[in-house]
Chain A
C-alpha cells in the first residue's frame, strides 16, 4: 500500500526545519518528500496543513509484562502508544521477574510482536534480578535484541560491580543506562527537600543526591570508557556536571521525563499521589533550567517514563503510595506545552523525542528523510482538549497527573512501517 500525505507541515528534526510539502510512504519507508504529486494508485491523505513528524521513540516506558498485566499489557500499551504518537516503545526491564536473561527477553519480544500495533524494543537488566551483585549475560542479551542495559531505579551501589559491568559493556559497545540518585540520601524520600516538603511534613531528598550519583557514574565512565546514558536529569545542579562530562569527551547522554519539564513540586498540592514520581517533582527553578537544557541540547532525550500503577497503589497516604505516572498518551500534548510557551521549536522537540533516542540506540527511526522507516505521525499541535482519565486513556492504568488538565495537541494518525495503526475519528472520515 502506497500512502500519499498531502498539504503537510513537515517537521524534520535532523535538519531543524519545518517545511510545507507532501510525503510518499511506500514499502515501509519514506519514499519521497517534496512537491511531487501522488504516485499512481496511492491512497491520498489530506493533512490540511497539520504537522507530520517522525514517530516518537520513547526511551524507558514500563509495560508491566511479565508480572503485572493487570496494570498494562503489550496490547494496551501498544494501543495507547499508537494513539499518543509513539511509534517505538523502548520497554524497561523492571518487570516481575526482571528481564535479565535471554529466555525472558525472547518471551517478551514474541509477546510484544504479537500484541502491539507499534514497534517495541526491549532493554535488559544490567545485573541479575536488578540486585546489583552480578552482571547479566550482556552479550547473549544483545544477540537476543536488547538495545540497552539498565537496572532502572535500582541503583548499583557497589562500585566494583558497576565498574566491571561498565567495562564488559564497553567491550561489546553496549549502552548502559544509569539512574542518578544517591540511594542513601534519597532513602524514604517522597518529595524534594525545601519549603514545600517542610510545609507538608513529607520526607524529602536533596537535589544533591542526583548530582552525587551522577558524579560517581561519570568517574566510572571515565575509568571504563563505557557508553552511558542518564535516564533522568532533573536538577539544575547536575547540569554543569553533565556539560563538563560531555566537554571532556565522555560518551554520555542524558534524558528527562516529560513530567519534570512540565510540572513542579507544588503540583503535589494536598498530597495528590498521582504526582508522586521517581525522582520526585522539583522546584520551578529546576524545571526551568532543565527545560532550557533540553532546548540547548545539553539534555538530549525527552521520555515519558510511562509507569502504570493501579488505583489501589495510589489510594494511600502519600509516603506509602506507589510512584510513577502513565504517559504514553499524554506525552505529546504535555511536551507541546514547551513549544507553546516558546521554550522549544517543533524540530527541537522531535529531536529530543524521536531523533536523539533513535540515534543513541542505533535505530534507523526518528528521521524525516528519504529511505527512513515510514514511522510517522500526523498531528494538530494546537487542538485543545480537557483530559478525562477514565474516558480518554487506552492504558489499563489511569494514573495520570494531567486528569482534568487543559492540553493542546492531538494525534490525528499514526503510521508504523507505512501502515496506519491509529486514526482519530475526524481523519478517518476525511481520509476516506
Chain B
C-alpha cells in the first residue's frame, strides 16, 4: 500500500500507485456505505473543518457525510457570509482556523492556487475541494472509481470529456488522472471553451461531437458554467445544445456500451438531454454521487493516517 501525500491538493502530485491505493480503499467504503450501520471510528476524536469560499451543496454534503461516517467532528463554515466579507485575507482566515487545531481542512476557493497557498500556512491535512479552474481531485478520483467499476478497468479506455473545458477544474483533474492511468483522453467543445495549448498536455482536441465521440468508452459531460461566463463564449444555449449537447443520437457515435457521466449539477437541455441523463442503462450519474462519499472517506482516512504518523514521529523527535 502506497500513499505518501500529506495534503490532497491535486491529482498532479499523485503517483499512479497512490491513486490505485486510494481507489482500493474506497471500494471497502462503498460496501460500508451500503450497510444500515455506516459508522467507523478511524477519524474518532479528529476535527474536520469544511471551508467553502464558493457556494456548494453537493460537494460539501458529500465531505460532511464522509467525515461523519468516519467518526470525525465536522464543522461547516460558509465563508461567503463570514469575515472574508469584512476584508480578512485568506491567510489570516487560515491562521485563525489553524489555531483551533483542526486535523483535516476541506477547502473550496474561487481562485486557482488558493488552496495550495493555504496549505503552506497550516499544520493539518488539507483537501482541495476545488480551486478556481485548477483542480478538483476528489471529483476525478470518484469519476475514476465509477469508471473502474462500470468498465472493469481504468486503463486503455477512450474517454471523451465534452463541453466547457476552459472553465472546468473537473476536466483538468480528470485529464491528468486518466493520462496517468494510461487512457486515451479526448476533449470536445467549441474553441472558445477550450484552454489554449491543452493539446500539449497529451490529449486529442475536437470541436465536433461526431468525430470526438467515435469509439469512446466513456462520455463525460461537463456543466456549462453560466456563473463563470464573462460574456460571449457561445452564441446561445440552444445552439450549444444543438452542437454540443449530449442526446441519444450523438451518443450513438460512441461505443454501444459507452457510459455517460456528469459531475453535476446538470443543466438539462443545455449540455445533456434529460431522458438520457435518467437512462439507467447508460447513465452512471447517480453512481458518481455514491462513489463521491466513498472516495472522500478513503482520502480522509489515508491523510489522517499520514498525519498521525507524522505527528507521532515528531513527538518521538524523528525527522520526517
A interface list, Cβ under 8 A from B: 188, 193-204, 206, 270-271, 312, 315-320
Contacts and interface: CB of A to CB of B under 8 A. Distances in A.
Given A202-B112, A317-B109, A319-B132, A271 B117 contact: yes
Given A199-B172, A202-B112, A271-B112, A316 B201 contact: no
B132 A194 contact: no
A317 B132 CA distance: 10
A199 B197 CA distance: 9
Contacts of B172: 198-199, 201
A195 B201 contact: yes
A312 B169 CA distance: 27
A199 B133 CA distance: 9
Interface of B: 12, 89-91, 109, 111-114, 116-117, 131-135, 169, 172, 195-198, 200-201, 230
Contacts of A270: 113, 116
Contacts, number: 72
Nearest to B131: A201
B111 A318 contact: yes
A320 B111 contact: yes
Contacts of A199: 12, 172, 201
Nearest to B113: A271
B112 A204 contact: no
Contact of B195 (A197, A271, A316, A318): A197
A188 B196 CA distance: 16
A201 B117 contact: no
Contacts of A197: 195-197
B198 A195 contact: yes
Given A193-B196, A195-B197, A202 B113 contact: yes
Residue among B117, B135, B200 with the highest chain A CB neighbour number at 10 A: B117
Kindly list the 7 A-B residue pairs having the minimum CB-CB distance in the complex, ordered from nearest.
Answer: A271-B113, A201-B134, A201-B133, A317-B111, A198-B195, A194-B197, A201-B112
Contact of A198 (B116, B131, B135, B197): B197
Nearest to A268: B113
A270 B200 CA distance: 19
Contacts of A204: 196
A318 B198 contact: no
A197 B200 CA distance: 12
Contact of B196 (A194, A200, A315, A320): A194
Contacts of A194: 196-197, 200
A317 B109 CA distance: 10
Contacts of A206: 196
